[in-house]
Structure 1
C-alpha cells in the first residue's frame, strides 16, 4: 500500500511566512513520519503531531529516524532540517524555498559579484551588529578587528552579568565535553543559530554559499546571517544556561535561546534584515506561481513554454 499522502502539495500562497513560524523544534530518540501534510514524532511516550508548515528548522538529535515521506513534506513546506550530531557538534541542513521566484537570489548574486557592493554589504552587516560604531570607510581588516574586540567584550560583559567565570573561547570539534560550561553553551547556541539562519536563507530562496563576510564555504551566507545576532541573542542565552549549572547544558541553552528568539521576534527580523542588506526593494516579482521566463537580448525576458524557433532567427 502506498504511503504517499493523498492531499495536494501546498502552494507558496498557502504556506505561513517564515517570519510567522516557530523558530525551531528539537527531537531525539524518536521516529519521524508523515501523516497527511503534517509530521509525527513517535517515542516511548506516544505520538506527537507537528504541523510541518509551522516549523522554521527541525533539529534531529541522536537516536532519531526519519522517513522519506516526512522529508518530502518538510521539503514541500520549506522547513529547514538539521541533523545534529552527538552533543550538537555537527549538523547538516536542507529545505526548499517558500518562494518560487529567483528575484532575491539574483539580487544577492549581483551584490556579491561586485567587489565594491560586496564590501558595502559587509559594512552594513557590521552596522547592524554594532550600531554605535560607524563602519563607513573601514577596510575589511579593520572590520575584522572591530568584530574580534566587540565579541571579546560581549563575553566579558555576559560573564559579569551572570557571574559565570570566563577565560577564553574554546571550541573542540570532536569533543563537546572538553570545554567548560559557558563554552559548551556557546557551541550549542551557535549550532542552533546556524540551523535557524540556514532555514531562513533557504526559505527566502537565497544562496547559502554567497557570503559577504565569510567566504569559501557552502554556508558562508548562513554564517554571515547567524553572526548578526551572536552578541544579542546567542551568547547571552549560553551564559544564562551556564549560570544554572553544568548539567544538561546543551538542552538548557536551547531552551534559553528559544525564549530569546521568541522575545526578540528574531525570525521576522532575520527576514527583514536579509532583504534590507541585499537592497531588495520588494518590487521584483514574488514568483508565487511557478512563473518561468527565458532571457533574450538586451535583458529582455520572454515567455517560456513557447517554441521561439517558429519564426526566422537570422
Structure 2
C-alpha cells in the first residue's frame, strides 16, 4: 500500500501534556496558516511561528482567516480554538483529547448523574474557595450565599486598594465598549480565562457541558472550574488594569493574564483541581505519574453488563454466547 502523503500526525505520547502547555495566544486581523509543524500568523507586520504542539488555546479575534491545514495541525496537536470578538466569546471547536483513557470522562458522567454525588462535587468546588473553613455542614443555598459575599468583598477590597470607582458588575454581551473600564477589564480577562479552562478540560478528555454547579449550557463545567479562580485571580488583575487607564483594555487584559498564568503555573493548577474533584483518593502527589501514565494508555474494553464491569475488546465471543 502506498504511503499516505503529507506530514505524519504526532502520536499522543509525543504531545505536551495539558498542564505543561502554554496558556493561550490571541490573534486578530491576520491569516493563520501552517508551516511544517508550526502555526503561522501573518499580518502587515510580518509572520510569526507558533509551536502548535505546546499550545493550550488559540483565541481568534476579528479579521482572522484560517487555512484548512492550520486547523488540521491544531486538531492533531490537541489544542483548542476559540473564536472571540465584539459579541464576546464563542466556542467553536477543539482538537482531540490528549488523554486516550476515558477515566476522567466516565468519572465526570457518573458523578453528575446522581443527586448525592453531584452535590458532593459541587460542595467540594465551593470548599476550594474557602480554604481552612469547614463547609461540610452548609447547604447549597448557604454556600451560594457565602460565595456571593466573598465576591462582593473581593470587588470592594480591590476597589479600595486601587482607588477604582466600583459601581457593580454591568456589561452588554453584544457591546464591549458600552461599559466602564473596570467592567471592560473583567469581561476581557474572563473571556481569556474561559478559553484556557476550556482547553484544559477537553485536553484531559472531560466534557465541557457536564457541570455540577452550572447546568444547561454547553460550557457548564467550564464555568464551574473558571469560577474557582476569579476572586483571587481575574478580579485583582482587572482592578489593576482599570487603575492604569489603558487605551486598549482588551489587548492589555490578554497580555496581563497570559503572563500571570505562565508565572503562576495556572495550567498545572487547573489540571490538578479537575483531577482532584473527579477522582476520589487520586490527588496525592505520589500518584501523579501513575495518573498521567493511565490517561495515555491506549486500551479499549467492552462493557460486560451488570455482573462484570468490563471485558477485553478485540475478541470474538461467538462461542461463549452459545
Tell whether the structures are fold-level matches, with TM greater than 0.5.
yes
SS of match in other structure, 1:142: helix
Displacement of 1:289 after TM fit? 4.6
Deviation, 1:234, is: 1.0
2:59 counterpart residue number = 59
Alpha-carbon contact 2:194-2:223 (below 8 Å) kept: yes
Residue 299 (structure 1) aligns with? 308
Q: Tell me if 1:110 matches 2:107.
A: no
Corresponding residue for residue 46 of structure 2: 46
Q: Is the 8 A contact 1:23 1:267 kept in 2?
A: yes
The partner residue of 2:296 within 288, 291, 294 is 288
Matched residue SS, 2:173: coil
Answering whether residue 30 of structure 2 is matched by residue 30 of structure 1, we say yes
Contact 1:62/1:84 (8 A) holds in 2: yes
From the superposition, tell whether residues 5 and 237 of structure 1 become closer, same or farther in structure 2 (CA, over 3 Å).
farther
Task: Evaluate the alpha carbon distance shift between residue 207 and residue 157 of structure 1 in structure 2; reply closer, same or farther with a 3 A threshold.
Answer: same
Query: Residue 56 of structure 1: SS of its match in structure 2?
Result: strand
Q: Distance in 1 between matches of 2:121 and 2:89?
A: 28
Deviates more, 1:181-190 or 1:282-291: 282-291
Q: Shift of the alpha carbon at 1:287?
A: 4.8
Matches within 5 A, 1:1-314: 6-86=6-86, 89-95=88-94, 96-279=96-279, 281=282, 286-297=294-305, 298-309=307-318, 311-314=319-322
CA deviations on 1:158-201 (whole Å, 9 max, x unpaired) are 11111111011112111111110000110111111110110000
Runs of at least 5 residues in structure 1 that lack an aligned partner in the other structure: none
Give the Cα–Cα distance (whole angstroms) in 2 for the partners of residues 173 and 213 of structure 1.
Answer: 22
Separation (CA, whole Å) in 2 of partners of 1:8 and 1:139: 53
Displacement of 1:130? 2.1
The answer to whether the Cα contact below 8 Å between 1:292 and 1:303 also exists between their aligned partners in 2 is: yes
Distance (whole Å) between structure 1 residues aligned to residue 200 and residue 154 of structure 2: 25
Report the aligned-residue RMSD. 1.8
Q: Is the 1:129–1:228 Cα contact (8 Å) retained in structure 2?
A: yes
Q: Normalising by the residue count of structure 1, what TM-score does the alignment of the two structures yield?
A: 0.93
Q: Quick check: 190-199 or 107-116, which moved more?
A: 107-116
3-state SS of 1:286 partner: helix
Residue correspondences, number: 309
> Whole-Å Cα distance in 1 between the matches of residues 133 and 124 of structure 2?
11
Q: Aligned partners of 1:145 and 1:130: how far apart in 2?
A: 13
SS at match of 1:105: helix
The DSSP-based 3-state class of the residue aligned with 1:63 is: coil
Contact 1:91 1:191 in 2 (8 A): no
Separation (CA, whole Å) in 2 of partners of 1:185 and 1:300: 49
TM-score, length-normalised on structure 2?
A: 0.91
* Secondary structure, aligned partner of 1:84: strand
Q: What secondary structure sits across from 1:24 in the alignment?
A: strand
Relative distance call for 1:30 and 1:305 in structure 2 (3 A) is same
- Tell me, in whole angstroms, the C-alpha distance in 1 between the residues paired with 2:19 and 2:248: 29
